Structure 1
Amino acid sequence: MIFSTLSLYVARRFGAYFAMACGTVFLLVMLIDTVELLRKSANSGATFDQVLLLAALHAPSLILTILPFVTLLSAMACFASMARSSELVVTRAAGVSAWRLTAPTLVAGAVIGAASFALLNPIAAGALQRFETLKARYFDEAASVLSISPQGLWLRQRSAQGQEVIRAWRADRTGAQLWDVSVFRFDHQDRLAARIEAARAVLEPGAWRLHQVRAWRFDPLRRDAPPAETRAANMRIETELTHERILESFSPPQTISFWDMPAFIDTMEAAGFAADRHRMHWHSQLAQPVLMAAMVLLGAAFSMRHARFGGLGWMALSAVLAGLGYFMLSNVAQAFGSIGAIAPVLAAWAPPVAMILIASGLLLHLEDG
C-alpha cells in the first residue's frame, strides 16, 4: 500500500509540474508568435483579431513539437524539488529503489506520449491546416497548388483566360510527368471554357507539353450549344509551375492527422509520388511514448542527487544540453529518413530507443554506483 500511495503522490507531483510547464510554454508561444505575425501584418492589413486567431491556431502544432522538451523539464523539476525537500532521502531510506520511484513518472510520460499522437496530433493538424489557409488569405501568400485524393492528383494554375485545373491519375516522383490527364480551363467569371484530355503531360520550362490530345471548346454565352472538338498529337499549355513548386505544394505531414496518415500515404504512392517524408512523420509520432519515457528517465538521472551534495544547477544544465543534443541528432536522422536515405522506421525509432538506454545507464551509474 505504501508503494501505491507513493506512486500516486509522485505521479501527481509530476503531473502538476507538467501542467504548469505546458501553460507557461503556451503563453510564451502565443506571445512570440503574435509578435512575429504582427510584424508580418504591417504590410498586409490584417487586424489584431485575425493575428490572434492565427497565433492560437499555430500554437498546438508548436507545443506538440516541443512537448518532449517540456516533459524533460517537468521531470527535472519534479525530482529536483523532491531532492531539495529531502523526500528522496526518506524514500531511499525506506528501501524504495530509484527505479520504483521513477516508475510512475515513466508511466505518466508514456501516457502523455500516447495522448500526444492519439488526441493532440489530430487537433494540431486540423488547426495548422486552417492556419495555413487563413495565413495565405490574410497575408496574400501563395496557396498550395496541388492536392491528392483517391480521384487522382489535382493541380491549379493561372492562365491568360482565367485559371486551369489539371487532374491526372498518375505522376512520376518529381511531378514532371503526368499520365491520363484532364485539363479544365475556366474564364475570369469561373465558367468552363474548355476541356482537354491527354494521354501524357510533360513539364517543360514555362509550359506543359501534352501528347495525344483531344480538346473540347465551350461557348460561355451559349451553354446549350455543342462544344467544338479538336484532336492533335501535341499541345503546349503555358504554366508558371516548376518541379520544386509542385513538390513543395504537398500537404505538410504536420497538417495531416495521425489517423488519416496511412490512407494519405497509400494515395500518394498510388499516384506515383514518394511518401518517405510522411511515413517518417507517422512513425515519429507513433514513437512518442518511448521518447517521453526517455525524457523522463533523462530528467530523473540528472536531478535525483541530494541537495547537500551540491551541483544540482550543473546537472540540470547537463540534462538540458543532453536533451538539445538528442533533438539535433533526431533531426538529422529524420532528415535522412524523409529523403529515403535510411528506412523511416529505423530513423524514427532508433533515437528514442537509444536515448532510453543511455538514460537508464546514467540512472544506474548515478544512483546505484
Structure 2
Amino acid sequence: MAPPNQGSFLMRTIRRLLYREIIASTAFVMLAFLALFFFIDFVGEMENVGKHGYTFFDALLSCLLQLPGHLYELAPIGVLIGAIYAMARLAQSSEYTILRTGGLDPLRALKLLSTLGMVFVLITFVVGDVMTPWSQTRATLMQSQFSGGLRMGRHGVWLRDVHVDDQGKEHHVTVNVAGARSDGAVTDISIYEFDPQGRLTSRINAARANIDDEGRWELEDVVQIHWPAQLEQEPPPDTQLPRMTWTSGLDRDVVAAAVLPLATMSTWALYTYMEHLSGQAQAAQRYELQFWKKALYPFACLVMMALALPFAYLSTRRGGVGFKVFGGIMLGISFVLLNNVVGHLALLHDWTPWLAAGAPSLIYLLMSLAAFGWLVRYR
C-alpha cells in the first residue's frame, strides 16, 4: 500500500494528465469550430460590403462580435468532442488502463471529470451572460446603423404598463415601438392611454424618443390627441409639440429587452423582463422558457463530460478514435436537436418552462450514467 503522500502525488499527476489532455483537445475543437463559423459569417457579410457605407473592416468587426455567441452555443459540443477524443486516445494507447491500475477507480474518475466539467460550466456562463449579450448588442446596433435602423416588423413591438403617478392617478398605457436606432433611441412611437374602464382617452405619436433608467421618455416631434370622457363633448384640438417628457414604468432596460433580439439578453435581463410581463398580465412563457434555457444551458457541459467518460472504457489497441469522435459528434448534434425540438414543443403545448429547459440535459445525463455503469460492470 502506497504511503499517503505518495498517493496524493499520484492523484495530482493523474489529474494534471487528464485535465491537460481534455483542455488541449477541447481548445483545439473550439478553435476549429469558431474558425469555420467565422468564415461562414464573413462570406455572408461580404454581400453587404459597399452598401450604405458598409466597409470590409465593418464586416470583419461584425463577424468578430458574433464569435462569443458561437462560442456559447458550441461549448457543450466542443467539450463533448474534446473530452471524447482525449479519453479515446488515452484508451487506445493503454494509458487509461495504466491509470486504472495506478488507483484511478471509476468513481474517482467521474469525480475528476465532474470537477473539470464545473470549470467549463463557469466559463460557459461567463461567456453567455457577460460577453455574448455585450457583443451581440454591439453587432445588432452596428448593423442597424448601416441599414437605416432596427425595424420591428410590420406591427412593431407592443408594450403594456399600469402605473400610478405622483397625484395617485392610475394610468393604463399601451405603447407601440416600430424601430430603434444605433444610438439607443426608439422611433415611430404610438402611446395609447385608457381609463380604468378600458376607454381610450388619449394618443401620443412621436417620431423619436430617448429613454432613461427612471422611465422618462424624451419625445420629439409629438402629436397629442385627447378624447373627452363623454361622447357628446367637443374634443379639444390636436396638440403639436417639438419636445415632450412622458413618464411611465417602462424604463430603458424593459424597452431594450422588447426591442433587441433575445441573444442580446443576459439571464438577469430575461428574468427582469419576464417579471415585468407577468406583472402586466402579458404572456411571458417565451421569455420564461428562454430564461430557464439560458440558466441551465451551461450545465450541459457537465453532462457532456459525463457522456465522454464511458468512451475511456471502450479500450482498443487498433484505431477506433475517429469512430468514437464521430459518435461524439452525433451525440452532440442529437442533443442540440432535442434541445431545440423540446423548446418549440414547450411553446406549442404550454409545458412547464423549467422542466422543458432541463429535460434534454437530464435525459442525456441519465444515459451517460447508465452507459458508464454498464461498461464498468461488464467491460
TM bucket by the smaller chain? Answer: 0.7 to 0.9
CA contact (8 A) 1:72 1:295 kept: yes
CA contact (8 A) 1:68 1:292 kept: yes
- AA matched with 1:259: W
**Please, what TM-score do these two structures have when normalized by structure 2?**
0.73
Q: Report the counterpart of residue 106 of structure 2 in structure 1.
A: 98
CA contact (8 A) 2:202 2:224 kept: no
What secondary structure sits across from 1:46 in the alignment?
Answer: coil
**CA distance 1:153–1:298, change in 2 (3 Å):** farther
- AA matched with 1:72: L
CA contact (8 A) 1:283 1:345 kept: yes
What does 1:265-284 correspond to in 2, within 5 Å?
A: 265-284=274-293
Q: Report the counterpart of residue 234 of structure 1 in structure 2.
A: none
For residues 231-270 of structure 1, the C-alpha deviation after alignment (integer angstroms, 9 at most, x for no partner) is xxxxxxxxxxxxxxxxx97533221111222111112233
CA contact (8 A) 1:186 1:194 kept: no
What does 1:198-277 correspond to in 2, within 5 Å?
A: 216-218=238-240, 250-277=259-286
Query: Which of 313, 324, 335 is 1:326 aligned to?
Result: 335
Matched residues in 1 for 2:78 and 2:235: separation? Answer: 57
Matched residues in 1 for 2:258 and 2:366: separation? Answer: 39
- AA matched with 1:195: Q
- C-alpha deviation, 1:352, in angstroms: 0.3
Query: Which of 218, 221, 244 is 1:192 aligned to?
Result: 221
Matched residues in 2 for 1:80 and 1:351: separation? Answer: 25
What does 1:1-369 correspond to in 2, within 5 Å?
A: 1=8, 2-41=10-49, 43-140=51-148, 142-144=150-152, 145-146=156-157, 154-157=175-178, 164-167=188-191, 182-186=203-207, 192-197=221-226, 216-218=238-240, 250-308=259-317, 310-339=319-348, 341-369=350-378
For residues 119-151 of structure 1, the C-alpha deviation after alignment (integer angstroms, 9 at most, x for no partner) is 532220121122122222224475234375978
CA contact (8 A) 1:54 1:131 kept: yes
Matched residues in 1 for 2:362 and 2:100: separation? Answer: 28
CA RMSD in angstroms, aligned pairs only:
3.3
- C-alpha deviation, 1:76, in angstroms: 0.9
CA contact (8 A) 2:157 2:178 kept: no
**CA distance 1:115–1:311, change in 2 (3 Å):** closer
Query: Structure 1 stretch 319-328 or stretch 93-102: which is displaced more?
Result: 93-102
For residues 193-238 of structure 1, the C-alpha deviation after alignment (integer angstroms, 9 at most, x for no partner) is 4213569xxxxxxxxxxxx986632376xx9xxxxxxxxxxxxxxx
**CA distance 1:84–1:195, change in 2 (3 Å):** same
Matched residues in 2 for 1:164 and 1:195: separation? Answer: 14
What secondary structure sits across from 1:77 in the alignment?
Answer: helix
- C-alpha deviation, 1:51, in angstroms: 0.5
CA contact (8 A) 2:80 2:307 kept: yes
CA contact (8 A) 1:118 1:258 kept: no
- AA matched with 2:176: L
- C-alpha deviation, 1:324, in angstroms: 1.5
**CA distance 1:147–1:116, change in 2 (3 Å):** farther
Matched residues in 2 for 1:118 and 1:153: separation? Answer: 35
For residues 137-168 of structure 1, the C-alpha deviation after alignment (integer angstroms, 9 at most, x for no partner) is 2244752343759787642349xxxx742235
What secondary structure sits across from 2:273 in the alignment?
Answer: helix
CA contact (8 A) 2:160 2:280 kept: no
What secondary structure sits across from 1:342 in the alignment?
Answer: coil
What secondary structure sits across from 1:30 in the alignment?
Answer: helix
- C-alpha deviation, 1:344, in angstroms: 0.7
**CA distance 1:81–1:277, change in 2 (3 Å):** same
Matched residues in 2 for 1:11 and 1:35: separation? Answer: 36
Matched residues in 1 for 2:313 and 2:201: separation? Answer: 64
Matched residues in 1 for 2:260 and 2:95: separation? Answer: 50
Matched residues in 2 for 1:58 and 1:19: separation? Answer: 18
CA contact (8 A) 2:178 2:189 kept: yes
- C-alpha deviation, 1:322, in angstroms: 2.2
What secondary structure sits across from 1:307 in the alignment?
Answer: coil
- C-alpha deviation, 1:283, in angstroms: 1.1
**CA distance 1:258–1:213, change in 2 (3 Å):** farther
**CA distance 1:310–1:276, change in 2 (3 Å):** same
For residues 6-61 of structure 1, the C-alpha deviation after alignment (integer angstroms, 9 at most, x for no partner) is 22331232222222223332222222111111124465552101101111111211
**Please, what TM-score do these two structures have when normalized by structure 1?**
0.75
**CA distance 1:186–1:19, change in 2 (3 Å):** closer
What secondary structure sits across from 2:225 in the alignment?
Answer: strand
CA contact (8 A) 1:164 1:185 kept: yes
Unmatched runs of 5 consecutive residues or more in structure 2: 1-7, 164-172, 180-186, 209-218, 229-233, 244-256
**CA distance 1:100–1:303, change in 2 (3 Å):** same
Task: Give me the identity figure in percent.
Answer: 19
